[in-house]
Structure 1
Amino acid sequence: MPEATASEPPVAPADPPMRIVLMGTGPFAVPTFDAIRRAGHSIALVVTRPERIRKSRKGPPPAPVRAWANQHDLPIFDPPSINDAEAVTRVAETESDLLFVCDYGQILSPQALETARLGGLNLHGSLLPAYRGAAPVQWALWQGEQTTGVSVIHMTPRLDGGPIVAQDTLAIDPHETAGQLEDRLAQRGVSTSLRALDELARWDGQSLWGQPQDPAAVTKAPRLKKSDGHINWKQSAQRIDYQVRAMQPWPTAFTLLRRSDGSEQRLTIREVAFSDRTPPPGTEPGTPQVDGQQLFVACGDAMVQIRRLQPAGKREMAAADYLRGHPLEDSARFE
């Protein structure tokens, strides 16, 4: 097994090593996939989503898992659907022990799961059965959770519905964004996944393995839409803070600034802070208040301070810099 570099924590060698098909696309999968490689497991194939269509000569960068696989000269397979008969046949031809799935973007059919001797494991970024779905990190933040974690499940045809075979918790920092939390969860998932692989290597294939998920405790985490970022200023300051942090890096929280002349400007809100100010009686939510170089907005229960924002088509900036170039009249409103 290659030695770890200074930036890579050491990984214990697999005993016994398995022949594994990795299935993933996004950045959440890369730390665990690389740990599986460094542990000495044989990577039979890396299955990932097809490359996005290039609309310019430069085009989008390759997806993180594709870039990682290319870096290590691993075979790549990118079918439009992993469940097509041709794709199922291609994966079955690897004669692998296991499918390991993380941040892939497709749901595997029973036929696809049957292509490996031991079926599949899936690393998911929540404490299942909470936050099943495509955006577990964002929804945990948006709902104000103080703790989240990672789960490895033995895969079944139901989305995130298999028995839990390994799970670890992680406290949520009160100031971090979804992108920052996802990075930390991706690292936490490494040891959780390797532990699950070690246990799987000792599984007799007959006895019950893992903890069944409680259907009464299931919550959903559907894929976010751009409209989810639109701030409703009638919410509490706490809920607005959750939303701003949960929507980064995508789709980002935003508001519409309406001025007295009827013009409208979209502002992406990058950072807010709680304030001990209370709005004057009768103040409508969304009413701004400027105090020197500080920008406050009335919300459902208090005033929230906007610290950083980004006007449409412009760079991100401190609220003070925005106010210097865009003074707010008394009748301006955030909607």
Structure 2
Amino acid sequence: MRIVMMGTGPFAVPTFQALIESDHDVVCLFTQPVRTVHRRKSSVPTPMRDVATAHGLPIYDPESINTDESRVLLQQLQPELLVVCDYGQILSRETLATSKFGGINLHGSILPKYRGAAPVNWAILSGDQETGITVIHMTPKLDGGPCLKIVRTPIGPTETAVDLEPRLAQLGVAAVVESIELLLTHDPETLVGEPQDPALVSKAPRLKKSDADINWSDPAELIYNKFRAYQPWPGCYTHWVREGKPPMRLLLSKVSLVREPAAAEFPPGTICVAEGDQLSFAAEGGQIVVEMIQPAGKKPMAVAEFVRGNHPSPGDRLMSEGDLPQSS
């Protein structure tokens, strides 16, 4: 089959590589334009650009895939199928129509759960014990097409988004290949795939920088799930309120969870252990045990180094940015 690949992020790389090495004819890559980072053009190509370049494939990066100009280009390429994964743009009905079989999309959740830009993060954030990938036959509605293939996998109790996403990307490879075969062999007079149940739809919107600010009124389990879900970005941070000094912003680089409440004298949002190489924060129903920490303006450090250099004490308060006292 003559395929145009559309993808930008690392989640799409294993599928792209597998299709190039298959019997299918992958003719080019459509990807997002290189964006300006910190007032300068990033000199680091995306992983998808690396793969395309290594195999001598043309790369196209229109600001919008749905313009007349983009559709004319697609028509000239004469694709039989658009394979979309981690692309960053929604294809219109007219754009999908430039291909004989339309498009398929590899999505990082068990649809219709977690439609949107951050399905891996939201599965962990929600405390799910299982997730997976879905290949859909695309429609203009975001992640709304019929399901061609679903593969399920458990989520480990300490697994972060950094751990889970590459596992799901690998699971998607065979699923995409099988979905292409399904399209090639199905009876065109019948519908292909299983329609999604609209009653089961949930959303997975893009994460925001402000999500990283820990709310100490949240249960300990949720705070830990946020830490797991927000790796590598936006991370999780809090502010340590120090007597006679300005609050110190602390990025939690590595933590674990103890599902046992701290002693009664340590309410949620206080330091309950600070000695040697041990540092724990009290939360509702448990404790957040810090293993690596990064004070503002410093590099990540081991807890022993932080405790030795900064002298936190049990009972010290931790606050979110919005709760900090205003300086006069």
Shorter-chain TM range is over 0.9
In 2, the alpha carbon distance for the partners of 1:28 and 1:20 equals: 18
1:254 and 2:237 matched: yes
The answer to whether the 8 A contact 1:260-1:331 is kept is: no
The answer to whether the 8 A contact 2:34-2:42 is kept is: no
1:220 offset after TM fit, Å? 0.4
Choose which of 41, 48, 54 in structure 2 pairs with 1:65: 48
1:136 and 2:119 matched: yes
Q: Residue 295 of structure 1 aligns with which residue?
A: 279
In 2, the alpha carbon distance for the partners of 1:128 and 1:216 equals: 12
Percent pairwise identity:
47
Q: CA RMSD in A?
A: 1.7
Aligned residue for 1:179, secondary structure, equals helix
Bigger mean CA deviation after superposition, 125-134 or 274-283: 274-283
In 1, the alpha carbon distance for the partners of 2:9 and 2:286 equals: 38
Distance 1:279 1:55, change over 3 A: closer
Which structure 2 residue ranges, 5 or more long, are not aligned?
Answer: 320-328
The answer to whether the 8 A contact 1:54-1:60 is kept is: no
Choose which of 169, 189, 195 in structure 1 pairs with 2:178: 195
The answer to whether the 8 A contact 1:156-1:162 is kept is: yes
In 1, the alpha carbon distance for the partners of 2:279 and 2:31 equals: 45
Q: Residue 12 of structure 1 aligns with which residue?
A: none
Cα deviation digits, residues 8-61 of structure 1 (max 9, x gap):
xxxxxxxxxx00010000000010011111112111221000112365788341
1:75 offset after TM fit, Å? 0.8
Q: Residue 333 of structure 1 aligns with which residue?
A: 317
Q: Residue 86 of structure 1 aligns with which residue?
A: 69
In 1, the alpha carbon distance for the partners of 2:144 and 2:252 equals: 35
User: TM-score scaled by structure 2?
Assistant: 0.93
Choose which of 75, 82, 91 in structure 2 pairs with 1:99: 82
Q: Residue 171 of structure 1 aligns with which residue?
A: 154
Cα deviation digits, residues 126-171 of structure 1 (max 9, x gap):
0000000000000000000111000000000100000000010111
In 2, the alpha carbon distance for the partners of 1:237 and 1:37 equals: 45
Distance 1:323 1:58, change over 3 A: farther
1:203 offset after TM fit, Å? 2.0
Q: Residue 317 of structure 1 aligns with which residue?
A: 301
Instruction: Report how many aligned residue pairs link the two structures.
Output: 318
Task: State the AA in 2 paired with 1:179.
Answer: V
In 2, the alpha carbon distance for the partners of 1:170 and 1:330 equals: 40
Task: State the AA in 2 paired with 1:334.
Answer: L
Cα deviation digits, residues 186-241 of structure 1 (max 9, x gap):
01111111111111111232211100000000110000001111111222221111
1:296 offset after TM fit, Å? 1.2
In 2, the alpha carbon distance for the partners of 1:275 and 1:116 equals: 53
Task: State the AA in 2 paired with 1:63.
Answer: T
1:317 offset after TM fit, Å? 1.9
Choose which of 174, 187, 193 in structure 2 pairs with 1:204: 187
Aligned residue for 1:93, secondary structure, equals helix
Runs of 4+ in 1 over 3 A off after TM superposition: 54-60
Q: Residue 22 of structure 1 aligns with which residue?
A: 5
Aligned residue for 2:251, secondary structure, equals strand
Aligned residue for 2:163, secondary structure, equals helix
In 2, the alpha carbon distance for the partners of 1:54 and 1:308 equals: 28
Task: State the AA in 1 paired with 2:5.
Answer: L
The answer to whether the 8 A contact 1:52-1:60 is kept is: no
Q: Residue 42 of structure 1 aligns with which residue?
A: 25
Which structure 1 residue ranges, 5 or more long, are not aligned?
Answer: 1-17
